[in-house]
Amino acid sequence: MARLTYDELIKKHLTILKSLKTKSGLFLASKKGLSTGYDKSWLRDNFYETIAFEVIGDWNTVEKTYRAILNVFLRHEDKIDWAIKEKPKEAHKRIHARFHPETFDEFWEEWGNKQNDAIGCILFRLGELEINQKRSILKTPEHTRIINKLVKYLESIEYWSDPDSGIWEEEEELHASSVGACVAGLKSVSKMAQIEVPLWLIRKGEDSLKLLLPRESEHKFTDLSLLSLIWPYDVVTDEQRGKILENVEYHLAKERGVVRYKGDHYYNRNPDGISEEAEWTFGLSWLAIIYEKMGNKEKVEELIKNLITIDTPEGMPELYFSNSADYNENTPLGWSESLFIVALYEMERLEEKTIG
């Protein structure tokens, strides 16, 4: 494939992704006006949506988004203070995972608001930006204060043994992907001089991960979310990475995406919810990025080819229905757009290394 084709695809999807950015700097999960409610801002989605801008070097966009996220936390600082004093028993008393993109208000309908990975991922990126990219997002004493409180928040909720709703915002279990995100986040901000992270707090999570992996949870043998522990978090051993990839590809990888987990009811074509699970498009990009970093060009080319096939004029859908060319209305999904851009960009770099 010609290099220009990659450039054109990247340009197309950057334009689509930028259309989801709001005045505050936060990104919507998908386009406005959807009946599914995806015209809101999730912490986790913003984390993944901004990675595309990191790889192309658009630091203004990245920094504006993360300063908006810091303002979200400051807006709800009293709630964080209460949670630090006493571990919240009810989900609505936790730090919420989604907010109004302009007012930064929480949404109060019933939701799986116990999502520890959403805190871990933000801490992870703040540390990475300052230490590895020399991009300090913490500009005021208030910024430093709130991040130190997030560390205390993870301590208060005992993240290493705390059942949460996880990335998919569903049943509460102890999720390896959530524990791993918190471990990565704490390790990352611990490198920042102004942030205090007790070593034992990280070790508690690492010990928990050893017991959980390669499973995602007690009831999930494998799960798409486990890929996050390989990239971007890099908190698994080579052996664990191999097992996670083996399980995800054998049990979950499909032609148009990756199933989140066996028995997933969300957009399942079977009324009984048995098999016929939806195929999530960003799963293919996620695998491509991982294999790019492992130097497996042949595997990456195969995945990129599949991704180009499932692309639509509107952008990357959230998912395709099982064994079907039909996709759901959450199109474009910002998370899918971003990971596709990253996969394309990294593929270019991989080709340059091969040619060189």
Spans of all domains in the chain: 1-22+252-356, 40-234
Strand pairing partners for 327?
A: 320
Question: Cβ distance 329 to 35 under 8 Å?
Answer: yes
Q: What is the pLDDT of residues 233-292, one digit of tens each?
A: 999 999 999 999 999 999 999 999 999 999 999 999 998 878 999 999 999 999 999 999
**For residue range 128-173, what is the model confidence (pLDDT) as tens digits?**
999 999 999 999 999 999 999 999 999 999 999 999 999 999 999 9
| Nearest CA-CA partner of 283 in 312, 323, 245 | 245
Cβ count near 107 (within 10 Å): 13
338: closest CA among 129, 97, 4, 61? 61
Secondary structure (3-state) at 99: strand
- Rounded to two decimals, the pTM is 0.96
The pLDDT value given to residue 355 = 45
3-state SS class at 319: strand
pLDDT cut 70: percent of the chain above it = 97
Rounded to an integer, what distance in angstroms lies between the CA atom of residue 44 and that of residue 118? 5
Q: In 3D, which of 243, 233, 120, 234 has the Cα closest to residue 185?
A: 120
Tokens of 161: 């043994």
Residues 332, 336, 342: CA angle, nearest 5 degrees: 130
